[in-house]
Structure 1
């Protein structure tokens, strides 16, 4: 078995969703002056590779601390939708029917991890609302290699509402998806900060 890290590095000035707080990683204490090292982090709960909890979009939604460790381990498969293109929508027919029988997490590979930090980053493909509903109906959480499973700057966040409203989780800004197997399931570990909040940065690791 091999562990594959699917996580963006948290660093000062990293790209963020439009309007979200900027990210800063600064020194608070140094060896030369203090004899030890401490850093100060400033970032939003949806910085970098992160998990959206239901409380992100649902007024009565659960926060991340309501999920046990067992809730954060998934049997996952990848859905290759790199042919959709900028601003396009991934429809349910992109998902092989047999995936619903063997997985509880789908990773949508749009190819947009290559646009991280570019002017095209916000032009990513997204899931059609009916695709989000397909996943929610089957108790499947969702990950994507883009800013959001909804269109950035689009008309609302219907995919967020249907998934988070059914207590599923959403993981955004995944990377390194080329290392995942194309036609078989793998274990996925999604470990966000344990915090009573609407979301949090996470270390996301696949065992393949």
Structure 2
């Protein structure tokens, strides 16, 4: 099976959700000076490509309560491109974009392809498309997790936000209430086929609300 790395590399001052502490990746020792090499990582649990657990916003389970098998997903990609900035994505858009061979009741995760990962590192990245609460509730009813190539499946507050946009995190809450997971800041979803396997294993620490992951898609020879 062909692997596709869907992760943004961790780097100093990489994009983070507004208000989050910046990321630092600092070389602390080198082979030339010290005889060995070490690197210090300063990062939030929601840094880079990461997976959110219900404990992020609710009294639901933390990541360490999920077995490794739960972080390996049978996934389907729904291609919504081209998307407008801050475009609402509802249930119909997801259903209409589902590949004909895919039954939402037979997959673990729906990967929403907006193409917004091409704006990584730009201010525009935060004016991404977002899902409606109804779309999230539909995913929850299908017992389906969510993957996005944006920083947030809910609207992210910026100066371009419209007053009609929902406050808070209704998509997160609808999915977390059903003990679903959310993988954020994916990249390169346009390279994967309609149906693929996604591995997104988090770091192991107690009461983890989220964790950076190395998100890797595995696919056969199917073409998009």
Q: TM-score, normalised by structure 2?
A: 0.88
> Equivalent residue of 1:120, what SS?
helix
> Equivalent residue of 1:76, what SS?
strand
Look up the match of 1:113: 117
| Superposition misfits of 4+ residues, deviation over 6 angstroms | none
Q: Does 1:205 pair with 2:216?
A: yes
Look up the match of 2:162: none
| Structure 2 segments unaligned to the other structure (5+ residues) | 158-165, 220-224
Superposed CA offset, 1:69-120 (max 9, x none): 1111111000111234111111111223753132110000111101111121
Look up the match of 2:48: 48
Separation (CA, whole Å) in 1 of partners of 2:122 and 2:33: 38
Separation (CA, whole Å) in 2 of partners of 1:84 and 1:159: 19
Separation (CA, whole Å) in 2 of partners of 1:90 and 1:34: 53
Separation (CA, whole Å) in 1 of partners of 2:202 and 2:26: 21
Separation (CA, whole Å) in 2 of partners of 1:14 and 1:95: 30
> Equivalent residue of 2:45, what SS?
coil
Contact 1:31 1:37 (8 Å CA) reproduced: yes
> Equivalent residue of 2:77, what SS?
strand
| Structure 1 segments unaligned to the other structure (5+ residues) | none
Give the superposition deviation at 1:126: 0.4
Look up the match of 1:94: 93
Separation (CA, whole Å) in 2 of partners of 1:128 and 1:10: 29
Q: TM-score, normalised by structure 1?
A: 0.95
Separation (CA, whole Å) in 2 of partners of 1:47 and 1:6: 14
Number of aligned residue pairs: 205
Q: 1:33 to 1:84 in 2, by over 3 A?
A: closer
Mean CA deviation greater in 25-34 or 120-129: 25-34
Separation (CA, whole Å) in 2 of partners of 1:32 and 1:146: 39
- Please tell me the root mean square deviation across aligned C-alpha atoms, in Å: 1.2
Look up the match of 1:77: 76
Separation (CA, whole Å) in 1 of partners of 2:193 and 2:117: 17
Q: 1:99 to 1:89 in 2, by over 3 A?
A: farther
Contact 1:76 1:188 (8 Å CA) reproduced: yes
